Amino acid sequence: MVSLVLVSHSKSLAESLVGLIRQMAGRELKIGVAAGAGPDHEEFGTDATDIARAITEVDSPDGVLVLMDLGSAILSAEMALELIPPDIRQRVRFCPGPLVEGGIAAGVQASLGSDIETVCREAHRALQPKAEQLEGSVEGVAPVVEVAPPLEAQDFHQVEVVLKNAHGLHARPAARFVQLASKFDAEILVTNLTNQKGPVSAKSLNALATLGALRDHRIRIMARGKQATEALEALRRLVEDRFGEPVGAAEGGPPPIQPVVAEAEVEVQGEEGVFVGLPVSDGVAVARLYHYESLPPMVPHDYTSDPEAEWERLQDALEKVRGAIQARYREMVARVGPEEAAIFEAHALLLDDPDLLQPARRLIFEQRYNAAWAWQTSVEAMVAQYQSLDDPYLRQRAQDVQDVGNQVLRALSGESREKIVFEYPVILVADELTPSETAQLDLEHIQGIITLSGGPTSHSAILARSLGIPAVTGLPPAIKRLSSETELGLNGFRGRVWVNPDERVRNELEVERRRWLEERQKLLASSLQPAVTRDGKRVEVVANAGNLTDAQLAAQNGAKGIGLLRTEFLFLTRQTPPSEEEQFQAIRDIGLALKGQPVIVRTLDVGGDKPLPYIPMEPEANPFLGVRALRLSLQQPDLFRTQLRAILRAGALANLRIMFPMVATLEEVEQAREFLSQVHSDLESEGIVHAWPIETGIMVEIPSAAIKAEALAPAVDFFSIGTNDLTQYTLAAERGNPHLAYLGDGLHPAVLRLIEQVVQAAHQEGKWVGVCGELAGEAEAVPILVGLGVDELSINPAGIPKVKAILRAMTMSEAQSLAQKAVKCAKASEVRRMATKFLQALGVGG
């Protein structure tokens, strides 16, 4: 028979519940209790060790179902799993059902001899009868999942799309979805057709999260109202464009989430012990421990006689937190780039979420709770909703709600947290670091990060990797009991943490740390050398960048400049266009990070498949053939002029070049150059310092431009071949369509012929040619492109050392004869085979 474990903050509550369950389920059922904290369990709280004991005591071959009350009970129960033997662990299930009703339902079902899944299901559904009786509402707290209007309403339009981005509707994509949906005057609902969850409102981040919508899930978006069709079109495109995440982000991004607690094991030998957790960021460190505590904010539990004033107080606090979050966002954009900082945008959105605000409002006006108490109640309900989701990635987002919730509570109580500055190197130990806490830290002195919870995709793990700080997660709570005098050793490759390492271990760690730092240095040093072929031809290797972090990484990895700066990063995650000043500062900072090396700034490449919410765009049947890139800039003169002004101004301080994307004809180049000269004249007459003349090139990514390269060459200073688009347009195969991936090979001889033609036309005019599509970073393509005469390769910063190694291993004449054979091939696969053999013969793999 399945046995139960009840985990509660209150010993008396749990004990009474056992009596209640026994009344209905009989005495045979084994029920373990882990409730209360402190020596006699009389204090309110939960304890992982106690939960582990209870599970072990009632362990049964049919499994153990654990039911918990709120908040830390769940965390403690998860931690308890670390402490029990693996054979018992695999029989344990955590049930998201409510403690009281769920406990009774589970007890009855277990006593009938049902299997653990059935018992869990019954407990999970235990609130249904009550909810139905109360007509779907629990007094004071609205259900997170909004009940949709009857679907037979005929005025709904709808589309169905499949989520193709790495994590489905997780925090950031969901935030973008909500932001976009909120722009339209339409009621919009979303249903997850894969797991049959929903419909829920598309304008609530929390409601969307309850859909548990993951990669490859099919969702239905329904809309009615004035702008229903526009809304559907925009949302469809957002999803189909993978929310702007790069294709392959899943592969290149952080490792997939794993059940942290299940994997961690502990080998503690007193104070001299070794902890084993999950490695989440490479590197080795030895330093003093620093306990980072997130103190829960104060929440008075008293009633108000003036609900209006309490509601006002809550509004003021929300406003204050909004300002702080926006400031943090800007700081983190500068520090780690817009992608990592995007979480703060999701945080700001939570402040407007009706699923948090409406219950809080009801509690203030109907129950007369004070603002803090009402807000906390609403936040806790939301946190519990997240924690009950199946997907571990979405479950982790409970932390974001808690984080924002606590900030509002602090603002209400007038508390503030000062920035923590360390005077010596430390290894930080924390339960988990929230984004706002991380932003408060003096990162310079942090040599390592240890967290108890949070997986490889948690914010602290992502941040540690971006900053190159070694980190381990999933450590047991015992580490929290160590004194702050303790010295820790940390190995972020293997997930090990040593407590007061003895001299031998310490020496070994020091050696490993030196080796790690030297290795980093060596890689850097070799990639800092120029790339010269064995027969003396120098090839420029530069990098593609999408933000300041990329640019800094590029400089560290030995890029001789930025061959493609995608300025879209300044536009895509906003509600309004960036001002000239904002663009100027961002471009200037990137230019300065490259310390005089050239940076090719590509003007805006959005539109079509990447809509901007603040630019009115007609829906298009074929967005990739539509108004995008330079076409959009030419149709939006103000937007274009503002960007050109910012680039020319930043060019006075850094070595910048300009490049126009998606050029199809000579007329477009002439018009774009006309805009540029006009902007120069304006700046001149306003007496504003700017770069002039400025090297100006175009992207060759449309076959017409490649075929007529000889006509375009005199009008430009350089060409940069965008093989991503050139391949899609040459083979008429949309680059994001997975069913056509087999056609999207840039090494197809048809594409290579066009590249050859472009190079010849450019060289005849004395102009140089770069390649900035992904092909430039593919090992097999490197000798072929260079053999065709390409002068510069612009690639992902991380790929620079490898490309340089290939260039150094080959000669130009070998590469030229390989390239000549390649253009004569009939198939892309033949080209690849030849190139692989070529690389193998050079000893640089393939």
Q: Is-contact 409 297, C-beta < 8 A?
A: yes
To the nearest whole angstrom, how small is the minimum distance from the Cβ of residue 722 to ligand PEP? 3
To the nearest whole angstrom, how small is the minimum distance from the Cβ of residue 565 to Mg ion? 13
Near ligand PEP by CB under 6 A: residue from 773, 777, 783, 787: 773
Q: Which long-range contacts does 671-676 make (Cβ < 8 Å, 24+ apart)?
A: 671/634, 672/603, 672/630, 672/633, 672/634, 673/715, 675/633, 675/634, 675/637, 675/640, 675/641, 675/644, 676/644, 676/648
Near ligand PEP by CB under 6 A: residue from 240, 403, 725, 734: 725
Name residue, tokens 């709904």.
Answer: 156
Q: What strands, in cross-sheet order, belong to the sheet with 92-95? A: 31-35, 3-8, 64-68, 92-95
Range in contact with ligand PEP (rule: CB under 6 A) among 68-76, 524-532, 710-718, 723-731: 723-731
Q: To which H or E segment does residue 676 belong?
A: helix 666-686
Our CA angle for 450, 454, 455, nearest 5°, is 100
Range in contact with ligand PEP (rule: CB under 6 A) among 70-78, 412-420, 718-726, 752-760: 718-726
To the nearest whole angstrom, how small is the minimum distance from the Cβ of residue 163 to Mg ion? 24
Near ligand PEP by CB under 6 A: residue from 36, 283, 338, 722: 722
Left (φ > 0), alpha (ψ -120 to 50) or beta: where does 14 sit? alpha
d(CA 220, CA 202): 11
Range in contact with ligand PEP (rule: CB under 6 A) among 473-481, 486-494, 716-724, 821-829: 716-724
Of the pair 540, 701, the CB lying nearest Mg ion is at 701
CA distances in angstroms from 517 to 280, 282, 329, 475, 504, listed in the order given? 18, 11, 31, 25, 20
- Interface with ligand PEP (CB under 6 A), residue total 10
Near ligand PEP by CB under 6 A: residue from 772, 815, 831, 844: 772
Pairing of strands 496-499, 274-276: antiparallel
Sketch the per residue contact string, 696 through 715, with Mg ion: x for CB under 5 A, - otherwise: -----x--------------
To the nearest whole angstrom, how small is the minimum distance from the Cβ of residue 701 to Mg ion? 5
725 binds Mg ion (CB under 5 A): yes
Let me know if 772 is a catalytic residue.
yes
Q: Is-contact 34 69, C-beta < 8 A?
A: no
Of the pair 456, 722, the CB lying nearest ligand PEP is at 722
Contacts of 79 (CB under 8 A, 6+ apart): 48, 261, 452, 453, 476, 477
To the nearest whole angstrom, how small is the minimum distance from the Cβ of residue 776 to ligand PEP? 9
Please tell me which residue in 167, 170, 347, 459 is annotated as part of the active site: 459
Name residue, tokens 């536009």.
Answer: 571
Range in contact with Mg ion (rule: CB under 5 A) among 38-46, 240-248, 354-362, 693-701: 693-701
CA neighbor of 286 nearest in space, from 59, 11, 516: 516
Neighbours of 484 (CB within 10 A): 10
To the nearest whole angstrom, how small is the minimum distance from the Cβ of residue 620 to ligand PEP? 17
Of the pair 437, 725, the CB lying nearest ligand PEP is at 725
To the nearest whole angstrom, how small is the minimum distance from the Cβ of residue 661 to Mg ion? 6
Near Mg ion by CB under 5 A: residue from 561, 722, 770, 797: 722
To the nearest whole angstrom, how small is the minimum distance from the Cβ of residue 779 to Mg ion? 22
What residue 723 binds from ligand PEP, Mg ion, none (CB within 5 to 8 A, per partner kind)? ligand PEP
Near ligand PEP in 604-633, by CB under 6 A: 605
Of the pair 307, 722, the CB lying nearest Mg ion is at 722
| HEC-encoded secondary structure of 314-354 | HHHHHHHHHHHHHHHHHHHHHHHCHHHHHHHHHHHHHCCCH
Of the pair 145, 587, the CB lying nearest ligand PEP is at 587
To the nearest whole angstrom, how small is the minimum distance from the Cβ of residue 679 to ligand PEP? 23
Q: Is-contact 444 306, C-beta < 8 A?
A: no
Range in contact with Mg ion (rule: CB under 5 A) among 187-195, 250-258, 435-443, 723-731: 723-731
To the nearest whole angstrom, how small is the minimum distance from the Cβ of residue 662 to ligand PEP? 8
What residue 245 binds from Mg ion, ligand PEP, none (CB within 5 to 8 A, per partner kind)? none
Using CB atoms within 10 Å of the CB of residue 320, give its burial: 0 to 12 exposed, 13 to 18 middle, 19+ buried: middle
Sketch the per residue contact string, 542 through 561, with Mg ion: x for CB under 5 A, - otherwise: --------------------
Near ligand PEP by CB under 6 A: residue from 466, 486, 704, 724: 724
Let me know if 459 is a catalytic residue.
yes
What residue 772 binds from ligand PEP, Mg ion, none (CB within 5 to 8 A, per partner kind)? ligand PEP
Indicate the SS3 state at residue 499. strand
Of the pair 558, 773, the CB lying nearest ligand PEP is at 773
Please tell me which residue in 95, 217, 347, 772 is annotated as part of the active site: 772
Of the pair 187, 774, the CB lying nearest ligand PEP is at 774
What residue 744 binds from ligand PEP, Mg ion, none (CB within 5 to 8 A, per partner kind)? none
Tell how far CA 107 is from the center of its chain: 41
Of the pair 230, 701, the CB lying nearest Mg ion is at 701
Range in contact with Mg ion (rule: CB under 5 A) among 339-347, 648-656, 717-725, 784-792: 717-725
What residue 608 binds from ligand PEP, Mg ion, none (CB within 5 to 8 A, per partner kind)? none
CA neighbor of 361 nearest in space, from 375, 376, 350: 375
Near ligand PEP by CB under 6 A: residue from 339, 355, 512, 701: 701
d(CA 668, CA 712): 10
Neighbours of 742 (CB within 10 A): 11
Contacts of 485 (CB under 8 A, 6+ apart): 288
Of the pair 189, 564, the CB lying nearest ligand PEP is at 564
The most distant pair of C-alpha atoms in the chain lies apart, rounded to whole Å, by: 93
d(CA 818, CA 842): 13
Sketch the per residue contact string, 271 through 300, with ligand PEP: x for CB under 6 A, - otherwise: ------------------------------
Range in contact with ligand PEP (rule: CB under 6 A) among 203-211, 327-335, 416-424, 720-728: 720-728
CA atoms within 13 A on the CB side of 488: 32
Of the pair 389, 772, the CB lying nearest Mg ion is at 772
Please spell the DSSP secondary structure of 563-602, one letter per residue.
Answer: EEEEGGGGTTT-SSPPPHHHHHHHHHHHHHHTTTS-EEEE
Q: Is-contact 206 144, C-beta < 8 A?
A: yes
What residue 475 binds from Mg ion, ligand PEP, none (CB within 5 to 8 A, per partner kind)? none
Question: What's phi and psi for 114, nearest 5 deg?
Answer: -70, 160
What residue 773 binds from Mg ion, ligand PEP, none (CB within 5 to 8 A, per partner kind)? ligand PEP
d(CA 731, CA 193): 34
Q: Is-contact 451 460, C-beta < 8 A?
A: yes
Q: Which long-range contacts does 822-828 make (Cβ < 8 Å, 24+ apart)?
A: 822/747, 822/749, 822/752, 822/784, 822/787, 823/749, 823/752, 823/753, 823/756, 823/788, 824/749, 825/749, 826/749, 827/748, 827/749, 828/745, 828/747, 828/748, 828/749
What residue 566 binds from Mg ion, ligand PEP, none (CB within 5 to 8 A, per partner kind)? ligand PEP
Near ligand PEP in 556-585, by CB under 6 A: 564, 566
Of the pair 500, 794, the CB lying nearest ligand PEP is at 794
- Rg for the chain (alpha carbons), in Å? 30
Of the pair 281, 720, the CB lying nearest ligand PEP is at 720
To the nearest whole angstrom, how small is the minimum distance from the Cβ of residue 607 to ligand PEP? 12
Binding site for Mg ion (CB under 5 A): 701, 722, 725
Binding site for ligand PEP (CB under 6 A): 564, 566, 605, 701, 722-725, 772-773
Annotated catalytic sites, by residue? Answer: 459, 772
